[in-house]
Amino acid sequence: MSSPGMLERIPEAATRNQEAPQYLQLPKFPTQLDSIRRFIDAVPAELQAFPALDLGCGPGPTTAMLLQRGYRVIAVDFSTASLQLNAASNAEHESRVMYVAADLKEFQVAGESCGVLMMADFLQHLGDMGDQQRFLHKILAALVPGGRFYLSCLNYNVKNWWKKDRIGSFSDGAMPGTISYRRSQVREVLSMLPSTIEVLAIHPMNIFHNAVADRMASRLPLPFLLARMIVVIGRRRLSEPPRVDTQR
Ligand X SMILES: C[S@@+](CC[C@H](N)C(=O)[O-])C[C@H]1O[C@@H](n2cnc3c(N)ncnc32)[C@H](O)[C@@H]1O
Interacting residue ranges for ligand X, rule: CB under 6 A: 12, 16, 28, 56-58, 62, 77-79, 82, 103-105, 120-122, 125-126
Residue type for 167, please? Answer: I
C-alpha angle 91/97/98, rounded to 5°? 115
Prior bond to 241 cis, omega within 30? Answer: no
Q: How far is the CB of 138 from ligand X (least distance, A)?
A: 13
Q: Which is nearer to ligand X, 120 or 205 (CB)?
A: 120
Q: How far is the CB of 156 from ligand X (least distance, A)?
A: 17
Q: What is the dihedral of CA 175, 33, 7, 98, to 10 degrees?
A: 150
Q: How far is the CB of 82 from ligand X (least distance, A)?
A: 5
Residue 6: C-alpha distances to residues 11, 80, 101, 140, 242 (Å) = 11, 11, 10, 26, 43
Distance CA 187, CA 230 (A): 11
Distance CA 105, CA 54 (A): 15
Q: Which is nearer to ligand X, 79 or 157 (CB)?
A: 79
Q: How far is the CB of 12 from ligand X (least distance, A)?
A: 6
**Helix ranges (DSSP H) in the chain:** 4-7, 11-25, 30-42, 62-68, 80-89, 129-140, 158-162, 186-191, 211-217
Q: Which is nearer to ligand X, 11 or 146 (CB)?
A: 11
Q: How far is the CB of 53 from ligand X (least distance, A)?
A: 12
Distance CA 8, CA 2 (A): 11
With a CB cutoff of 8 Å and minimum separation 6, the contacts of 32 are 120, 121, 152, 205, 206, 229
Q: How far is the CB of 74 from ligand X (least distance, A)?
A: 13
Q: Which is nearer to ligand X, 12 or 143 (CB)?
A: 12
Q: Which is nearer to ligand X, 31 or 49 (CB)?
A: 31
Q: Which is nearer to ligand X, 16 or 236 (CB)?
A: 16
Instruction: Say which DSSP state 212 is in.
Output: H
